[in-house]
Structure 1
Amino acid sequence: MRQLVTWAASACVGFVRAGAVVLVSMLVPAVWAAAVALAIWWGPGNPWSWLPAFLVVCVGSIALSRPVCRMFRFLVGKWTSTVVAPGYREAPPVVRMSTGFWWNGFSYERTSRDARMDQRWRLRWNDPANWRDLRFTAIAPCTAGLVAAVPLAGVATAAIGLGGQTTVARLVGLLGLVVGIGCSPYAWRIAEPVAVRFLRASPAMALAERVGELTSQRADATIAQAAEIRRIERDLHDGAQARLVALGLSLATAEKLMETDPEQARALMRDARAGAATSLTELRELVKGINPPVLNDRGLVAAVRAFALDSPLEVTVSADELRLDPPIESAAYFGIAELVTNAVKHAHATRAHIRIAGDGTGIVVEVEDDGRGGAAERADGGLAGLRRRLAVFDGTLEITSPQGGPTHVRMSVPCESL
C-alpha cells in the first residue's frame, strides 16, 4: 500500500513537472505560431504579410531567449540540485576619466547614461551566451519539450478516448492513460541532460571566466597583503618601536644617574624592565595575529580550541583531528576568528558552536551563534573579505542569518591532503 501511495505521489509530481517543462519549452514556438497566424490573418494574397510575421519571430525569440533559459536553469536546479552556470559576461565598471569622458570597457562616452547604454548593447550582441540561449530556444521544444509532452498527450488521449462510443476508442484511451501515468515520473527528467548539454558555458567561455576570476583573486590577494604589511608596520611603529625607544632613553638616563642618584636610576631601570616586558607582550600578540604559534605546532583544531578558551563567548568546539596544508589552516583559522568576533561585536551573542570536519574532498567549517542575526555581506565588510580569502583556494561561504537569529555560516575549502 505504501509503495502504491509513493508511486501515485511520484506520478502526480512528475506530471506537474512535465507540464512546467512543456510550458517553458514551448514559449518561443508559441510566438512563432502567433506569427504564422498573424501572416494568415493579414492575408495570403498580400505580398507584405510575411514582414510583420518575420518581425514578431525575431523580436519575440530574442526577447524571450534569456528569460526562457533562466526559467529552465531554475527548474533544473530546484528539482535536481544541478547548477547550470549561465556564463554571461559581466559588465565592467563604468569609470569617469580625468578628461571628463566615461569609459565603459569598450568605448568613451560623454555621459554615464550613454556609456551604460552602449555597454549594455555591446554585451547583448557580443556575448556568446546570448546566442547560445537563442539556439537553446530552438532545441528545447524538439528535445525536452517533446519528451515531457508524452504524459500530457497520454492523459489527453485518455480523456478523449474513454469518452468515445466505440471499443477501439476506449482501448486507445486506456492505452493513453497507461502511457501517460507510466511516463509521468520520468518524462521531465530529460530537462537536466538537455540543460547541461546546451546551456552550460563552452570550454572557452569557462576558461575566460576562470582567468578573470584568478586575476581578480590575485588583485585581492595583493591588496590584502599590502594592507597586512601596513598594519604590521603601524603596530610596530606605534607600539613596540616606541616602547623600545623609550626603553633606550630610560637606560641612558639611568646610566648617567647611577653615580649621582642611584635611587632614581634604579626606578628608571624598573620602569625600563616593565617597558621591556610590555614590548615583549606586544610583539607576541603581533606574531600571534600574523600566524599563531599553536597553529604551526599543533594544527587547526588545537588553535581553534585555544582561541575558544580566550573568547568572551561560551564557545563549544566539535572537530575531527585533521592536519591540512598550512595556508588552508591559516585561512580557516582566521575565518573562524572573524565570525566569532562578529558574533561578539555585532550580534551580541552569548554562545557559539564551531564544527570542523572533513567531507572526503576538503574541510567543512560551520560556525553558529545565538545572536540577533541579520548578518549582511557588504562589499567592504569582513564577510566579503572572508569570501575572497576562501576563493583563493576555490572555497565557498554560505551565510544563513535571519532577523532574530541564529546565524549559521558554512565554510568549505577543497584540500587534496585529506
Structure 2
Amino acid sequence: MGRAGAWVVRAGVGFGRAGLAAAVCLLVPGVWAGAAGLGVWSGPEHPWSWIGPAVIVCAGTLALAQTVCRAVRFLVARWTGTEIPTGHREPMPVMQLSTGYWWNGFSYERTRRDAVMDQRMRLWWSDPATWRDLRFAVIAPVTAGVVAAVPPAALAGGVLGLTGQGTAARLAGAGALALALGCAPYAWRALPLVAVRFLGPSRAMVLADRVDELTSERADATVAQAAEIRRIERDLHDGAQARLVALGLALATAEALLDRDPDQAKALMREARAGAAASLTELRELIRGISPPVLSERGLVDAVRALALDVPLDVAVRADGPLRLDPPIEAALYFGVAELLTNAVKHAGAGRAHVSLVRDDTGVVVEVEDDGRGGADARPGGGLAGLGRRLAVFDGALAISSPPGGPTRAKMTVPCAYS
C-alpha cells in the first residue's frame, strides 16, 4: 500500500473516531439545545417557557454526566491504551445490627432498601468524583468536542458546496472537503488529552485513596502479626515448653533415685537428655520459621537455595548474583517462595519447579514456576491472597498465571533498593 492509500486509511479511521468523540462530547449540549428549542416553541407567555427548559438542562446534565465520562474512558482506553481510573468512592457493605436497623456508613435505616438508597444518594452528593464528572461534561464540548466536530462538519459543508450552484460554492465545498480529509487523522486526538487532564483523579483524591490503601495494608499487617504471635505461643506451649516441664520432672525424679536406684536414675537422665535434644530441635525449627539463620547470614539467594534442597521437588534456582535487601523485604520474599513451593507440592502435584530472582530498574522480581496441574487462584481468605497482602505492605504485587493443566507462574515484584 502506498502513501496515498495509507493516508486514506488513516483519514477513514480518524474520521470515524472524530465522529464518535464529537457525538459523545456533544451529547449534553444536545440536551441543552433541545431544552432551548422547547422554550422557544412554548413561547415567552407560557409559564413553562423557562422553568421546563431549566429543569431539563439540570436533570439531563446530572443524568448524562457519568454516562459521558464512562464512554470517554472506554474510547480513550480502546484507542490509546490509557486507563483513566474513575476515582469514585466504593460504598461500604450495608450491615444489619442486632437492633434490627441497617447501617450504611452514614445513618441507620429500618430496611435494607432504604439504607442502600440513602447510601447511594449521600455518596453521589459527597463524592468529589461526581462533581469532577459534571465539570468534564461542561468542559469537553467546548474543547475536545469542538475539535472532533471539525471533520464531520467540514465533510457536510463540502458535500453541500459541491452539490450547490456556482463556482464559489464549489470551490468552498472543495476546500471544506480538503479540510475534512486533512484534519481527520488528528482531530480525535484532542479527546485523550482533555480526558487525562480533566477526567483523571485529582491529587487530593489520589492521596485519599493511598491513605485508605495504607490503612487497609496496616490492618492486614497487624492481623498477620497477631496470628504469627499466637502461632509462636502455641508452638512454644505445646512443644518446647511441655518437653522442658517433662525434663524438669525427670531430673527431679532421677535426683531422688540416685542413691536408692542408680540404674533407674541413669535411665531417667538418658531420657531427659533425649528430651533436651528434641526440645532444642523444636526451638531451632521455630526460630527457622520466624527468621531463618541462613537468610540473616547469607541473604535471600542462598536462603532460597537452601530452601530448595528441603523441598521434595526438583527445584532450579537462578539469580543475578547475591541480593541484599532490607530484612523485612527479604523475609517476605523468602516466605513467599516457601509458600509457593509448598502449594506446588501439596495442591498442584508438581514434579519440577523453577525459581528466578532478578533485578530490574525499580527493585527485585521473584518468579516461581511449576509443572503442576494449574488452577491456582488468589481467592479471598486464601494463602495466595494473604501473600499478596504481605507484599502490598512494601508496595509490592503478586501476579498469578495458572491455567487448568498448568503450568503455574507466580511473579512477586517489590520496588526497593538493593546492594
CA distance in 2 between counterparts of 1:408 and 1:27 reads: 46
Specify whether residues 87 and 260 from structure 1 end up closer, same or farther in structure 2 by C-alpha distance, changes over 3 A only: same
Q: Which moved more, 1:254-263 or 1:193-202?
A: 254-263
Deviations 1:186-206 (A, max 9, x none): 333333331222122223333
Q: Work out whether 1:284 is the aligned partner of 2:284.
A: yes
Specify whether residues 235 and 16 from structure 1 end up closer, same or farther in structure 2 by C-alpha distance, changes over 3 A only: farther
CA distance in 1 between counterparts of 2:40 and 2:278 reads: 91
Which residue of the partner structure matches residue 106 of structure 1? 106
CA distance in 1 between counterparts of 2:330 and 2:3 reads: 48
CA distance in 2 between counterparts of 1:346 and 1:5 reads: 56
Shift of 1:268: 3.2
Structure 1 unaligned blocks of 5 or more: none
Which residue of the partner structure matches residue 359 of structure 1? 360
| TM-score normalized by the length of structure 2 | 0.86
Deviations 1:198-255 (A, max 9, x none): 1222233333323222222222222221111111111111111112222222333333
Deviations 1:93-145 (A, max 9, x none): 43444544333222222333322221111111111210110111111122222
CA distance in 2 between counterparts of 1:374 and 1:11 reads: 46
Deviations 1:70-105 (A, max 9, x none): 232233334434333322223234344454433322
Shift of 1:43: 6.2
User: Sequence identity, in percent?
Assistant: 66
Which residue of the partner structure matches residue 233 of structure 2? 233
Which residue of the partner structure matches residue 131 of structure 1? 131
Which residue of the partner structure matches residue 337 of structure 1? 338
| Helix, strand or coil at the partner of 2:48 | coil
Q: Which amino acid aligns with 1:329?
A: E
Q: Which amino acid aligns with 1:242?
A: A
Q: Which amino acid aligns with 1:66?
A: Q
Which residue of the partner structure matches residue 390 of structure 2? 389
Q: Which amino acid aligns with 2:211?
A: V
CA distance in 2 between counterparts of 1:318 and 1:19 reads: 53
Which residue of the partner structure matches residue 150 of structure 2? 150
CA RMSD of aligned residues (A): 3.1
Q: Which amino acid aligns with 2:47?
A: P
Q: Which moved more, 1:211-220 or 1:264-273?
A: 264-273
Which residue of the partner structure matches residue 379 of structure 2? 378
Q: Which amino acid aligns with 1:82?
A: T
CA distance in 1 between counterparts of 2:305 and 2:361 reads: 23
Shift of 1:346: 3.3
Q: Work out whether 1:306 is the aligned partner of 2:312.
A: no
- Matches for 1:15-414 after TM superposition, within 5 Å: 15-39=15-39, 46-156=46-156, 172=172, 175-176=175-176, 178-321=178-321, 322-414=323-415
CA distance in 2 between counterparts of 1:223 and 1:4 reads: 65
Shift of 1:276: 2.4
Specify whether residues 275 and 54 from structure 1 end up closer, same or farther in structure 2 by C-alpha distance, changes over 3 A only: same
| Helix, strand or coil at the partner of 1:85 | coil
CA distance in 2 between counterparts of 1:231 and 1:79 reads: 52
CA distance in 1 between counterparts of 2:12 and 2:348 reads: 45
CA distance in 2 between counterparts of 1:213 and 1:183 reads: 44
CA distance in 1 between counterparts of 2:89 and 2:407 reads: 36
| Helix, strand or coil at the partner of 1:115 | helix
CA distance in 1 between counterparts of 2:53 and 2:410 reads: 53
Number of residue pairs aligned between Structure 1 and Structure 2: 418
Specify whether residues 185 and 231 from structure 1 end up closer, same or farther in structure 2 by C-alpha distance, changes over 3 A only: farther
Shift of 1:177: 5.0
Q: Which amino acid aligns with 1:366?
A: E
CA distance in 2 between counterparts of 1:158 and 1:312 reads: 76
Shift of 1:414: 1.8
| Helix, strand or coil at the partner of 1:82 | coil
| TM-score normalized by the length of structure 1 | 0.86
CA distance in 2 between counterparts of 1:12 and 1:365 reads: 46
Shift of 1:291: 1.5
Specify whether residues 223 and 150 from structure 1 end up closer, same or farther in structure 2 by C-alpha distance, changes over 3 A only: same
| Helix, strand or coil at the partner of 2:365 | strand
Shift of 1:320: 2.2
Shift of 1:179: 4.1
Q: Which moved more, 1:235-244 or 1:26-35?
A: 26-35
| Helix, strand or coil at the partner of 2:188 | helix
| Helix, strand or coil at the partner of 1:280 | helix
| Helix, strand or coil at the partner of 1:377 | coil
Q: Which amino acid aligns with 1:75?
A: L
CA distance in 2 between counterparts of 1:353 and 1:189 reads: 45
| Helix, strand or coil at the partner of 2:189 | helix
| Helix, strand or coil at the partner of 1:268 | helix
Specify whether residues 150 and 265 from structure 1 end up closer, same or farther in structure 2 by C-alpha distance, changes over 3 A only: farther
Specify whether residues 386 and 15 from structure 1 end up closer, same or farther in structure 2 by C-alpha distance, changes over 3 A only: farther
CA distance in 1 between counterparts of 2:348 and 2:178 reads: 58
CA distance in 2 between counterparts of 1:280 and 1:2 reads: 80
Q: Which amino acid aligns with 1:339?
A: L
CA distance in 1 between counterparts of 2:2 and 2:265 reads: 92
